[in-house]
């Protein structure tokens, strides 16, 4: 059974006003004082963000429970110093991001300018274990067409600097400003993958291998494929669903590789269009079907994803749970839809953030 770990980035906000607060250092200091080790909470690029990482889990119910627990711990430590955490992929309210003072962050600010200053966006990264770099690259080559569907499911960033962007996942549009971000070509082998990464670092445009921001990459720290396309999800159960589907994709891709099935040769240009469409419409309109790169209703594309990974999910005991979670998500809506409905009902972005603080821990 492949293990799965999740990294979530949370927004630190004022409980009463919903405005982002640059208090990550204080939250981390409080967490450290009370025994939350560095393997749980980490600092991020901006001081208004806090990241946590779960431990690897083989049971998805256990992973869901740990996401809930980590969110609750983050909320407790933040509350002790007078702020709150919100699982929002962008700040609905206007904000002036504060870049951290570390050498790496300052290099990024100098190298990338406004693109760094505007990267106050919160994502969800899913790590799925693989047996080797060869298997990992084979997986990366074969999951490429399906990753845009995970973006649509997780979309949770409709607002930016006080206004509606008309996107469901504007975070993914902001994230795409990094020079190394986005979908990749088919590598074909671990040797070609590593050569590509080495060549990218050698240009000097990026600082090191950790700054290779492919949609799916080999982790630098763990024996995993890291899938990096999701917004941080408003609801913990959506995060668990994305992780479940990610493991299903990895297992399905590994089986295809073992059976000698070649990856689909969709070009990067088409994959970028699929990513854009997913960011624009989320689950409320049409997506590009990963098999044909043609428009279909979002619900039909989600069902196609479930069918694609059904055998892997059945073998891990996750199929019924995943089907039920997808049905619930399609009915309730992703974070983008929930935020827009809150805005329509209250007329206040402050109220949107305050309610999302509550939903983050629900």
In a domain, 2, yes or no: no
In a domain, 176, yes or no: yes
Could you give the number of structural domains in the chain?
1
- Asked if residue 17 belongs to a domain, the reply is yes
Q: pLDDT for 259-306, tens place per residue?
A: 999 999 999 999 999 999 999 999 999 999 999 999 999 999 999 999
Residue 333 falls within a domain, yes or no? yes
What local confidence, expressed as pLDDT, does residue 195 receive? 98
Q: For residue 224, what pLDDT is reported?
A: 98
pLDDT, average across residues 314-334: 98
From residue 160, give the alpha-carbon distance in Å to each of 72, 79, 137, 182: 26, 25, 35, 21
Q: Is residue 1 domain-resident?
A: no
Q: Express each pLDDT in 183-221 by its tens digit.
A: 999 999 999 999 999 999 999 999 999 999 999 999 999
**pLDDT digit string (tens) for 19-55?**
999 999 999 999 888 765 556 898 889 999 999 999 9
- CATH code, domain carrying 117: 3.30.590.20
Phi and psi, residue 92, nearest 5°: -65, -30
Is position 233 within any domain? yes
Is residue 231 a part of any domain in this protein? yes
pLDDT at 35: 67
Q: What is the pLDDT of residues 83-134, one digit of tens each?
A: 999 999 999 999 999 998 889 999 999 999 999 999 999 999 999 999 999 9
First to last CA, the chain: 29
pTM above 0.95, yes or no: yes
pLDDT of 157 over the 80 cut = yes
Residue 330 reports pLDDT greater than 60: yes
SS3 123: strand
In angstroms, the CA 301 to CA 149 distance is: 7
Domain enclosing residue 300, as ranges? 7-360
pLDDT tens, position by position, 166-182: 999 999 999 999 999 99
């Amino acid at each position: 059974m492949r293990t799965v770990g999740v990294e979530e980035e949370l927004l630190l906000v004022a409980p009463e006003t919903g405005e982002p607060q640059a208090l990550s250092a204080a939250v981390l200091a409080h967490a450290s004082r009370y025994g939350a080790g560095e393997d749980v909470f980490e600092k991020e690029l901006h001081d208004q963000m806090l990241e946590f990482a779960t431990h690897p889990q083989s049971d998805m119910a256990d992973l869901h429970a740990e996401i809930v627990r980590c969110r609750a711990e983050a909320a407790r430590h933040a509350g002790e110093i007078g702020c709150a955490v919100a699982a929002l992929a962008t700040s609905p309210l206007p904000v002036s991001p504060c870049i951290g003072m570390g050498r790496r962050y300052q290099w990024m600010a100098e190298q990338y300018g406004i693109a760094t200053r505007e990267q106050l966006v919160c994502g969800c990264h899913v790590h799925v274990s693989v047996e080797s770099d060869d298997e990992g690259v084979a997986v990366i080559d074969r999951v490429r067409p399906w990753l845009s569907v995970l973006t649509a499911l997780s979309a949770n960033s409709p607002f930016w600097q006080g206004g509606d962007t008309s996107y469901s996942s504007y975070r993914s549009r902001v994230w795409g400003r990094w020079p190394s971000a986005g979908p990749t070509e088919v590598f074909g082998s671990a040797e070609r993958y590593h050569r590509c990464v080495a060549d990218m670092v050698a240009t000097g445009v990026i600082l090191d291998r950790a700054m290779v921001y492919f949609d799916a990459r080999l982790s630098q720290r763990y024996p995993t494929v890291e899938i990096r396309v999701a917004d941080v999800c408003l609801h913990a159960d959506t995060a668990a669903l994305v992780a479940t589907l990610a493991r299903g994709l990895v297992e399905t891709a590994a089986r295809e590789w073992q059976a000698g099935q070649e990856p689909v040769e969709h070009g990067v240009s088409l994959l970028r269009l699929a990513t854009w469409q997913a960011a624009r419409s989320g689950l409320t309109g049409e997506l590009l079907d990963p098999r044909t790169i043609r428009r279909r209703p979002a619900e039909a594309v989600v069902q196609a994803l479930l069918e694609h990974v059904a055998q892997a999910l059945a073998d891990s005991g996750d199929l019924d749970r995943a089907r039920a979670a997808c049905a619930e998500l399609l009915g309730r809506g992703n974070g983008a839809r929930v935020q827009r409905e809150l805005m329509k009902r209250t007329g206040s972005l402050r109220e949107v953030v305050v309610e999302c603080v509550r939903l983050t821990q629900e």
